[in-house]
Structure 1
């Protein structure tokens, strides 16, 4: 080897170190990324969310007062809108008048019933008297019939005894018929009392419907999707607009399935909204989704969330929604659907096991 060749080899050998250094740095970077993803899952596939209800009246009618406007914030108990109360006021007055009339009728009917009961008692007493008279005349006839053959009584006396017996039997039959008629005529106020209970229930229903004519906010919220005005006829159980429940705000973070191992309800998280990335909000995991649309062409259960995979021709980890409850949300910043970023701080399983052992719980 000549001196020139040695010099060239010495110049080429150091050039391999930059490449080796780059490879080592890349490996370290990959390891750091994997460790970071495993210990502090982070995703920008997230959005703000709050529960909503469709505000529906309990009764039908025409809107006479609309106390809110679209996107307005309301407090619990605030008047939202009022339905024409006059039909329900009239129904209440009618039921109250019917109850007053019935209350006046019940004492009169009770007096009539008392008279009917007295007549029935008198008729039963008349039956007893007729039975006694019939028995007495029967006994007299039985004593007289053996005496006619011995000449102790005349035929006329026997005929009069038989006539008296037949008359007593007829009087008994008439008294019994009159007693049955009197007992059948005895009425009762029980039906009127039952009718009173029905009217009382109708009054309660009318009062409730009159109360329902004024629709109030069930909780603190914000009115959205308001597309009506005064004069619109609304139907019961049909939503008029949507009310966002602003008492609780959430961030729905779609995390890869291989990032869920150490995440539990209560796991702390930090979130921020893309509308203002400078402000951070703390929160905790409320729940973790247990079902998504697999998107493989097979049938799915109704209502499962559909989360698009980013690369369809490569098998990638499925994402599941993690619901994060924000501790102190800014009501002016949070809007449903606002893009967000979520960073979770899951507790490692070995740390949980160590703490559980220290507390005396089984590991």
Structure 2
């Protein structure tokens, strides 16, 4: 009876079924194949790829770098024709000199106005003294006339002199008021002249910035990507010329949400690099994405539909590469890697965190 049940065909079918079940259990990390090591091949090397563009318009007159060349911070990568910007700077400086001259002239006018005020004050003192003298002479003639000694014509002449002295005093006071108003006008206009000087200084600074922007320099150490700038090419603000890729790199590993339980910042990570014959480098978990990758997509999925299939979402995990490894210098942004995190390991103290 057993011979009929365990025929060669049934044994093959049974073995195939057990093999399939084992593969399913292994794929889903179910007992007896459960493991504390979580792995994903949805991982890539990332870095600061900086696209360089001019801030001014003009023709490219020099491109001293080549594709994939090493550069240092401050190295010249390209030059834009600066002749018009040199002239604009000269024009702005000439305008500034003119505004400063107008301000200096205002200072001179203020000094003259203050001198006029002093002169008007002296004229008032002189008019007051003349008025006092005319008043005494008029009073004396009035007394002489009352006593019959003086004549009417002399008395009238003294009265006229007194009136002239009063008018001269009023005129001197009016002249003082005019001088004060002239001074206030100069002081008020001073504000507009100072503002004009400040505006001219800002124009000079802007012209200097534009002139400086005709030279495009490397923002930091790294390698140049493909150079898109060409001699004689007319570029405008925002035209992409080339990219600079610094040596700082890290790994973004996209784990399924079902793999994150027990994963912590600081846990050691093994990184297998496809481009290096799958050699491994060390790293550690640095931080986790605040949301699933689908939340950052332009068109977000809408699961409120009649047909729904639950799909495990991916959560980005940033992995910092431990220093002191020779192979890290060969890593380039965009490389594919395989990341393994042993969740059974205790998190290590992280002394430095990359940006």
Structure-2 separation of matches of 1:287 and 1:304? 25
| Bigger mean CA offset, 118-127 vs 28-37 | 28-37
- Of 318, 325, 332, the match for 2:320: 325
- Counterparts in 2 of 1:340 and 1:169: CA distance versus 1, 3 Å: same
- The residue correspondences of 1:1-363 to structure 2 (distance < 5 A) are 30=25, 33-34=29-30, 38-99=35-96, 110=107, 113-142=110-139, 144-145=141-142, 148-186=145-183, 187=186, 190=190, 195-224=196-225, 226-236=227-237, 238-292=238-292, 294=294, 314-327=309-322, 328=325, 330-336=328-334, 338-347=335-344
- Give the C-alpha shift of residue 38 in structure 1: 4.8
- Give the C-alpha shift of residue 94 in structure 1: 3.1
- Give the C-alpha shift of residue 163 in structure 1: 0.6
Report the count of equivalent residues: 331
Secondary structure of the residue that 1:289 maps to in structure 2? Answer: strand
- Counterparts in 2 of 1:230 and 1:37: CA distance versus 1, 3 Å: farther
Structure-1 separation of matches of 2:234 and 2:151? 99
RMSD over equivalenced CA pairs, Å? 4.1
- Give the C-alpha shift of residue 126 in structure 1: 0.7
Secondary structure of the residue that 2:291 maps to in structure 1? Answer: coil
Structure-1 separation of matches of 2:22 and 2:234? 69
Equivalent pair of 2:60/2:229 in contact (CA under 8 Å): no
Structure-1 separation of matches of 2:284 and 2:300? 21
- Give the C-alpha shift of residue 156 in structure 1: 1.6
Which residue is 1:3 aligned to?
A: none
Equivalent pair of 2:88/2:207 in contact (CA under 8 Å): yes
Equivalent pair of 2:103/2:190 in contact (CA under 8 Å): no
- Counterparts in 2 of 1:241 and 1:343: CA distance versus 1, 3 Å: farther
Which residue is 1:359 aligned to?
A: none
- Give the C-alpha shift of residue 162 in structure 1: 1.1
Structure-2 separation of matches of 1:96 and 1:319? 58
Gaps of 5+ in 2: 302-306, 350-355
Cα shift readout 1:214-262 (whole Å, capped 9, x = no counterpart) = 11111233444644422223233x1424525332222221111121122
Equivalent pair of 1:98/1:199 in contact (CA under 8 Å): yes
Structure-1 separation of matches of 2:162 and 2:58? 78
Gaps of 5+ in 1: 1-7, 295-299, 307-311, 357-363
- Give the C-alpha shift of residue 81 in structure 1: 1.0
Per the normalisation by structure 1, the TM-score is 0.73
Structure-2 separation of matches of 1:304 and 1:48? 25
Secondary structure of the residue that 1:179 maps to in structure 2? Answer: helix
